[in-house]
Amino acid sequence: MAQQVVIDPLTRIEGHLRIELETDAGVISNAWSEATQFRGIETIVLHRDPRDAWAFTQRICGVCTTVHAIASITAVENAIGSNVPQQALLIRDMVLASQEVQDHVIHFYHLHALDWVDVASAATADPAKAVAFAEQIGSTWKGNNIDRMTAVRDTVANLIASGQLSIFTGGYWGHPAYKLPPEANLMAVAHYLDALEFQRTMIKINTVFGGKNPHPNFLVGGMACTIDPNHTASINQVQLADIQQWVKDTLEFVQTCYVPDATAIVGVYKEYFDIGASSPNYMAVGMSGATFGGNPNQTPRYPTPMMDVKPGVIVNNDFANPQPFDPTLISESIGSSWMSYAGGSQTLTPDKGETTVAYTGPTPPYEWLASATDGKYSWCKSPRYNGMPVQVGPLARVLLAYSQNHPRTKELVDGAVATLGITLDQMNSTAGRTLARAVECLTSAEMLANDTLPLFIKNLQGGDISVFDPSKWEPSSWPKKASGYAFVEVARGNLSHWVSIENGEISQYQCVVPTTWMTGGRDENSQMGPYEVSLAGDGKHPLVDPTQPLEPLRTIHSFDPCMSCAVHVLDVDGQELQVATS
């Protein structure tokens, strides 16, 4: 007898996600992915100054802060023909890289780890054994010592003894699906706290160049932060020395703490390489941080190692034959979303995209959404590539890099696959997505440390201090009509912004966002979206105790959902917001 299970709020994600499930005999038999927040920013950016759009679109998300801003200015620059100096592009690359690494670290430790780590168990651990465990898994992190482990254990023990568990209140402690030994749990809690401290340092690169984080400042045509070795008010050797140290610290943390922890955890929970498989199709335009103003198949504005991997799509796990990427094959379905398209169409390409709200769900409070007779249950649209659901994000990028024989990625993936005794196909799984994110974080940190920052410094030493193209700043220098777009590979996957400008104002604006690709529900052909496939695609996903949905949390968190991004819907056709509430 199938039982209905609702997970709402689905916590430890960005924004508001509701998952409805049917379970039967300990496995999930059906699933619905439901976005429950809508902000309507699409109607808000219309008719504004395109140079302001980054500030609006950046507010789509404060976790993916910076990425929407960079996509926005790049799209506008593509439209108006700015010639952005290379040093400004390198600054943006450093901002993107540091944001991505910080984002992956926060995701693993603060949003995902508690799915695998039993905090209560850590209170019973032997600190010496925790240090030994860290050594055993190859973690050489400097925080691994008995004093530190003892202090953390005492903290957890005191917290539990106080009866006020703060953010750990109501967790599923003692659930039989928790398998780590106490000493591993203790080590992980210690690293959870270290990561909190670490991310504060890591993100300072954003602050030097953008003045703040979250939501640093950007500029169409370049960057507003001046660089000049001979002015105190410009970024000079004082800040560069700091940045070099932060980048070094970042690489050290990722190498000695994050990667060993992630590898060890997926090793202990190896059965999750057979759980949570989603769509076997993957799409990316390069490695993380790859940024294109215009068509990603054309020559980039300057060569970076992030673009050593070419845009491509892997279809049906055929890793040997990645297909060329064709942006015209992207469409967005409203099969399950509370939207309507003119003329009753169910799917549109993004350039013709519309956002007309047509809510047919129940008036809150409500108990169940998935049984609506019109099949609508979410604010999120369902993007498709050539009609197929695809996965984007770290897994897609790592697999695409692997399929193109990117040396460092291949070395890391082959090593992990051999150690874990899994096949490449099994990377399409809950554990595989978590592992891929760690692999990618390492390659990103390495490229930041070994390529991007050294090139920026070398250019600076050679006297290249230009960071802004003033020639296209004034609207009078723009064409009367122009359109442009940008693709950026950001922490959660492939992001694109599309803008049309007319008479100096935004006449059309649209984003196609990573989490939309993954969160969207069924399309007009009743094909499930990637989250839904991962939970109910094979009828084998475990859910032992419906009151403690630990197993589906693991799978959904492995995607790193960002719901405010998913339901940004900036596709603009200028129509007034229309609402039809039933």
Instruction: Give residues 211-230 in contact with other proteins (rule: CB under 8 A).
Output: 211-217, 219, 221-226, 228
Q: CB of 248 within 8 A of CB of 449?
A: yes
Q: For other proteins, which stretch binds (CB under 8 A), given 159-167, 305-313, 450-458, 534-542?
A: 159-167
**Out of 316, 461, 476, 526, which residue is the one contacting other proteins (CB under 8 A)?**
476
Strands 3-7 and 27-35, sheet pairing: unpaired
CB of 549 to other proteins, least distance (A): 6
Phi, then psi, of 313 in degrees rounded to 5: -130, 130
Handedness of CA 410, 318, 488, 297 (dihedral sign): positive
Q: How far is CA 2 from the centre of its chain?
A: 33
Q: Residue 582, exposed/middle/buried by CB under 10 A (0-12, 13-18, 19+)?
A: exposed
Of 43 and 317, the one with the shorter C-beta distance to other proteins is: 43
Q: CB of 243 within 8 A of CB of 208?
A: yes
Site string for other proteins, 549-578 (x = CB under 8 A): x---x----------x--------xx-xx-
CA–CA dist 18, 387 (Å, integer) = 25
Rg (CA), the chain: 23
CB of 408 to other proteins, least distance (A): 27
Of 233 and 320, the one with the shorter C-beta distance to other proteins is: 233
**Out of 27, 132, 146, 159, which residue is the one contacting other proteins (CB under 8 A)?**
159
CB of 443 to other proteins, least distance (A): 23
Site string for other proteins, 107-126 (x = CB under 8 A): ---xx--x----x-------
Q: Considering only residues 441 through 460, tell me which ones interact with other proteins, judged by CB under 8 A.
A: none
Tell me the three state secondary structure of residue 302.
coil
Q: Considering only residues 267 through 326, tell me which ones interact with other proteins, judged by CB under 8 A.
A: 294-295
Q: Considering only residues 494 through 513, tell me which ones interact with other proteins, judged by CB under 8 A.
A: 498, 500, 502-505, 507-508
CB of 496 to other proteins, least distance (A): 9
Q: For other proteins, which stretch binds (CB under 8 A), given 129-137, 311-319, 384-392, 542-550?
A: 542-550
Tokens of 80: 């108006």
Q: Considering only residues 75 through 104, tell me which ones interact with other proteins, judged by CB under 8 A.
A: 79-81
Residue with tokens 């925790």: 130
**Out of 23, 31, 32, 65, which residue is the one contacting other proteins (CB under 8 A)?**
65
Q: Considering only residues 33 through 62, tell me which ones interact with other proteins, judged by CB under 8 A.
A: 36-41, 43-44, 46-49, 51-52, 55-56, 59-62
**The total number of residues written for the chain in this structure:** 582
Q: Which helix (H) or strand (E) holds 505?
A: strand 505-512
Q: For other proteins, which stretch binds (CB under 8 A), given 130-138, 144-152, 263-271, 517-525?
A: 144-152
Q: CB of 113 within 8 A of CB of 188?
A: yes
Of 479 and 539, the one with the shorter C-beta distance to other proteins is: 479
Q: Considering only residues 356 through 395, tell me which ones interact with other proteins, judged by CB under 8 A.
A: 357, 359, 361, 363-367
Q: Spell out the alpha helix ranges (H) of 462-529.
A: 514-519
CB of 491 to other proteins, least distance (A): 13
CB of 357 to other proteins, least distance (A): 8
Q: Identify any residues that bridge with 83 across adjacent strands, giving them in sequence order.
A: none
Q: Considering only residues 174 through 193, tell me which ones interact with other proteins, judged by CB under 8 A.
A: 193
Phi, then psi, of 102 in degrees rounded to 5: -60, -40
Of 327 and 432, the one with the shorter C-beta distance to other proteins is: 327
Q: CB of 480 within 8 A of CB of 503?
A: yes
Q: CB of 222 within 8 A of CB of 84?
A: yes
Count of chain residues binding other proteins (CB under 8 A): 148
Q: For other proteins, which stretch binds (CB under 8 A), given 282-290, 301-309, 522-530, 543-551?
A: 543-551
CB of 419 to other proteins, least distance (A): 29
**Out of 116, 172, 385, 559, which residue is the one contacting other proteins (CB under 8 A)?**
172
Tokens of 207: 């602050």
Handedness of CA 68, 74, 77, 78 (dihedral sign): negative
Cβ-proximal residues to 222 (8 Å cutoff; 6+ apart), any chain: 82, 84, 85, 88, 466, 467, 468, 469
